[in-house]
Amino acid sequence: MNNQIDYDNNSQELLRQFIKQLNEGGMDKDPTIASQDLKYIRGLQRARLARHGVKLQKTYGQAKKDIKGNAWKLDSDTSFVTRIPFKRLQAGTEYISDRAKKIVNKTKTMYGYAVWLKGQKKPQKAYTCPNCGAVSTIHQLTEGCPFCGTRFLMRDLYPKITGYYTLETPDRVITPFPMMILGAIAAGGISAYNYMIDSAGKSIAEIVVSVLIAAGVGVIGGTLLFIAAVLGIALVRVLCNLSKIKNYSRTKKNLPPFMRKYDPDFSLDYFIGKLVSLTSTLLYSDKADNLSIYEGESPAASLPDVVDAEWLGYFALNKSYEQDGLLYLDIDIHMNCMHFKNGKFSSKNHMFNLLMSKRAEAKTDYDFNVQAVNCKSCGASFDALREKHCPNCGTPFRMTDYDWTVKRFVSH
């Protein structure tokens, strides 16, 4: 690894640039440092929004409490350096149509997947030309794209943000002061009213002292009421999500040991990004059954009125096993979806069940690009999202040999 590069700090700078480009371009323009696969998912969402006549604007600003760092990192890969930087943000979302408008403001933490190429050690790796979209090798693009002629420096191609997701993480500090003040005003007011009705033989000093005492009691009462309310709300939330929390904790404990038997560098944080990415792709696609990432025998769940989707922070591993050289993961993931139907926006939580599969010997390629793969038979590069057979030799392409695919996608 190049010791002159501080990847930890560089990852934060890369995420900062990515957030800046998201703010400047909105949904209309993809960040230049986004990978082709990420741009493809955003393109699917843009098409869905356009079909419904909906405009989506997301802005990311500074949170009250700035928290940032790296959730995970990998330096042992021979070709790439990977980081998962995160940063807490104040996120604002506007959904606008001719007939309705909805605004959502929340504090969230954004997780990004930053990838660097080590010393240009993979010049023959397939890559999608950022200018025309044709698939070539990295070496060809630096010499000049064979299709459009554009030449790129390595810094034009790497580093990249290959994926990201946001997770609601409130940083609002709730204090009891409003309840204390209301309690004091209420108790003091009641005391003053009583003395005004029956003030015979009472001095002004006695009345003032009684009102102050009542106000003090009101402060204590308001504080106790606040504590009871906060604890009550927290208890209700825990009880409502108890099964989700329990299942997620079990998953975090059981999934990594199972996967590391086959892939020693398995990262749960990276896998979450892959899971969210697959779910989003299937949700936004109007023809999910035609995608190379879906190999199900039955049609994938279709929710054509979903215009936006975000992970709720929970997923559960129901079953994991190996069969005939393939790994299988039966997973439930919880997503919040914004629907647009009959001219109205509505937010709804969904649970989706996915049966995921990939070859047991297929190690995680942290720069894998489904739009730029190499045929195992003839070595030709092609776009696997649009071609399920090599256009050069006709060999069938199976995404399972490279990365996770979905065998089942059902909405509960």
Count each helix (H run) and each strand (E run) in the chain, helices first: 8, 13
Domain check: are 321 and 403 in the same one? yes
Name the domain boundary from 212, 240, 268: 240
Strand partners, 102: 95
For the chain, what is the mean pLDDT? 82
The model's pLDDT over 278-332, given as tens digits with 9 standing for 90+, comes to 999 999 998 888 788 898 888 888 899 999 999 998 899 999 999 999 999 999 9
The model's pLDDT over 58-99, given as tens digits with 9 standing for 90+, comes to 999 999 888 999 998 888 766 778 999 999 999 999 999 998
Q: In which order are the strands placed within the sheet that holds 344-359?
A: 306-323, 326-341, 344-359, 405-411
Least confident of 31-35, 320-324, 351-355: 31-35
Name the domain boundary from 191, 209, 240: 240
Whether residue 13 has pLDDT greater than 90: yes
| Whole-number pLDDT of residue 65 | 86
Domain check: are 274 and 224 in the same one? no
Residue 246 within a domain = no
Whether residue 173 has pLDDT greater than 70: no
Domain check: are 126 and 231 in the same one? no
- Whole-number Å distance between alpha carbons of 14 and 212: 57
Residue 132 within a domain = yes
Domain check: are 194 and 89 in the same one? no
pLDDT band at 142 (very low <50, low <70, confident <90, very high): confident
Domain check: are 359 and 396 in the same one? yes
Total domains in the fold of the chain:
3
Domain check: are 112 and 152 in the same one? yes
Domain interval for residue 158 = 7-168
| Overall average pLDDT of the 396-408 stretch | 88
- Between vectors from CA 34 to CA 411 and to CA 132, what angle results, nearest 5°? 105
What the block records as the tokens of 345 is 């926006």
Its pTM stands at 0.78
| Whole-number pLDDT of residue 310 | 94
- Between vectors from CA 55 to CA 51 and to CA 57, what angle results, nearest 5°? 140
Whether residue 216 has pLDDT greater than 90: no
- For tokens 């792709």, what's the residue? 281
Whether residue 2 has pLDDT greater than 50: no
- Whole-number Å distance between alpha carbons of 404 and 401: 8
| Whole-number pLDDT of residue 94 | 96
Domain check: are 366 and 294 in the same one? yes
SS3 (DSSP) at 355? strand
| Whole-number pLDDT of residue 386 | 65
Name the domain boundary from 142, 168, 194: 168
| Overall average pLDDT of the 182-194 stretch | 54
| Whole-number pLDDT of residue 348 | 95
The model's pLDDT over 38-65, given as tens digits with 9 standing for 90+, comes to 988 999 999 999 999 999 999 999 998 8
Query: Residue 53: which residues within 8 A CB-CB, separation 6 or more?
Result: 97, 98
Longest alpha-carbon distance in the chain: 107
- Whole-number Å distance between alpha carbons of 169 and 89: 9
Domain check: are 200 and 159 in the same one? no
